[in-house]
Amino acid sequence: MSKILDKMMDFMKLNDEEEYDLDEVEEEIAIAQEADVKPIKSYSNKRNNSKVVNIHTNIQMEVIVIHPESYDEAQDICDHIKSKRPVVINLENMERDIAQRIMDFISGSCYSLNGNLQRITNNIFIIAPENVDIAGDFKEELKTSGIILPWKSE
């Protein structure tokens, strides 16, 4: 009679041994899952727009000063910007038409590389890549600092 009762209990799932066994299996699965937990790396498609530069880096920032003599040097200037180096361009001794062509090429490249182009004087410009921020107005800063500018007309 005991066998019939056990079969009925098994059929109705009222057997304590089976419930106990299921609890043990669930605990073992939970423990196994905890052991296999690995941190998920997060990747973001957002571009980092921060222009803050760590001053404690070992890499030294270098500003390139260029006096181009021909239109062919425009590509070299853009290569410096691509390499994340600020460039100062002096076009004072160039023909106006060639200087205009150089600036057209450089300004287009600067825009496509998310750089910043700012005029210092009529024929001197500074171009900063996206990792360098140009703050303020150079003419005003130079006037207030007392530096005598050779191109200053007073």
57 in any annotated domain = no
Distance CA 103, CA 105 (A): 5
**Is the domain of 79 the same as that of 21?**
no
112 in any annotated domain = yes
pLDDT band at 26 (very low <50, low <70, confident <90, very high): low
Burial 97-122 (b: 16+ CB within 10 A, else e): eebeebbeebeebbeeeebbbeebbe
20 in any annotated domain = yes
19 in any annotated domain = yes
Q: Count how many domains the chain has.
A: 2
Instruction: Say whether pLDDT at 9 is over 70.
Output: yes
At CB < 8 A and 24+ separation, what contacts does 74-79 make? 74/101, 74/102, 74/105, 74/106, 75/105, 77/102, 77/106, 77/127, 78/105, 78/106, 78/109, 78/110, 78/113
The two structure tokens encoding residue 97: 């038409």
What is the average per-residue pLDDT within 98-115?
90
Place of tokens 């939970």: 30
Tell me the residue range of the domain where 72 lies. 64-136
Place of tokens 């239109």: 71
Instruction: Say whether pLDDT at 96 is over 80.
Output: yes
**CA–centroid distance for 22 within its chain:** 52
pLDDT band at 98 (very low <50, low <70, confident <90, very high): very high
What is the average per-residue pLDDT within 17-44?
57
42 in any annotated domain = no
- Of the candidates 141, 145, 110, 150, which has an alpha carbon nearest to the alpha carbon of residue 126? 110
Distance CA 142, CA 148 (A): 8
Instruction: Say whether pLDDT at 33 is over 70.
Output: no
Distance CA 2, CA 17 (A): 15
Instruction: Say whether pLDDT at 2 is over 80.
Output: no
Segment 69-78, tens digit of pLDDT: 889 999 999 8
What is the average per-residue pLDDT within 103-123?
88
122 in any annotated domain = yes
Segment 45-95, tens digit of pLDDT: 555 556 666 665 556 678 889 999 889 999 999 898 888 889 999 998 889
